[in-house]
């Protein structure tokens, strides 16, 4: 039988190891973009908030005893003036899973209006989830982020839409 104190300690280190891995990936990608002259304030803000989100997620996972798993991320990149954006990702969700559609919030200045949840359509064809975002032609450049959750408010997918 495993010692419960050591199991808790293992869960603690596993959770923060995951935070470290995700942060290292963000730093690697950020440095590549800085070298290419493509790193923006909006992206830096998003990266900073993502690290804090990872830390809070790890802490809640440890506190609740739930396994700490990274939330999958779907990334869409479009040119300003494009009307729609679509991404499909395999999540292994069961058909009929109830999902909450998020607003996509702009990260970084100039702070602008969000992309309303009414413009975000979710189509679940198990195991794939398709995210369609409409009415984007007049949306300002920037990074927009939203979190799709299930009926129990458990994160299912983080959606990132970059308009360049």
Q: Over 60: is that where the pLDDT of 2 sits?
A: no
Residue range 141-160, pLDDT digits in tens: 888 988 898 888 788 888 99
CATH of 73-163, one of 2.30.30.240, 3.40.470.10, 2.60.40.10, 3.30.830.10: 2.60.40.10
pLDDT number for residue 84: 94
Question: What is the token pair recorded at 102?
Answer: 């998020």
Whole-structure pTM value: 0.65
Residue 13: CB atoms within 10 A of its CB come to 12
Residue range 86-124, pLDDT digits in tens: 999 998 888 888 999 989 988 877 777 889 999 999 999
Tell me how far apart the alpha carbons of residues 73 and 148 are, in angstroms, rounded to a whole number. Answer: 10
Q: Over 90: is that where the pLDDT of 58 sits?
A: no
Tell me how far apart the alpha carbons of residues 82 and 138 are, in angstroms, rounded to a whole number. Answer: 8
Residue range 13-28, pLDDT digits in tens: 777 777 877 888 788 8
Quick one: pLDDT band at residue 6, thresholds 50, 70, 90? low
What ranges do the domains of the chain cover?
4-64, 73-163
Q: What is the H or E stretch that residue 109 is in?
A: none
């Amino acid at each position: 039988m495993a010692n419960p104190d050591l199991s808790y300690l293992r869960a603690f280190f596993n959770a923060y190891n995951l935070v470290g891995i995700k942060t290292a990936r963000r730093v690697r990608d950020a440095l590549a973009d800085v070298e290419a002259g493509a790193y923006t304030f909006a992206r830096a803000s998003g990266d900073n908030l993502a690290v804090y989100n990872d830390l809070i997620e790890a802490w809640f996972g440890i506190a609740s005893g739930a396994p700490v798993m990274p939330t999958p991320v779907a990334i869409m990149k479009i040119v300003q003036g494009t009307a729609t954006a679509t991404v499909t990702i395999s999540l292994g969700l069961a058909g009929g899973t109830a999902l909450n559609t998020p607003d996509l919030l702009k990260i970084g200045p100039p702070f602008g209006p969000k992309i309303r949840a009414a413009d975000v359509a979710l189509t679940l064809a198990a195991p794939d989830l398709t995210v369609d975002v409409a009415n984007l032609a007049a949306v300002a450049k920037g990074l927009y982020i939203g979190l799709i959750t299930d009926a129990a408010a458990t994160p299912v997918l983080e959606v990132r839409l970059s308009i360049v």
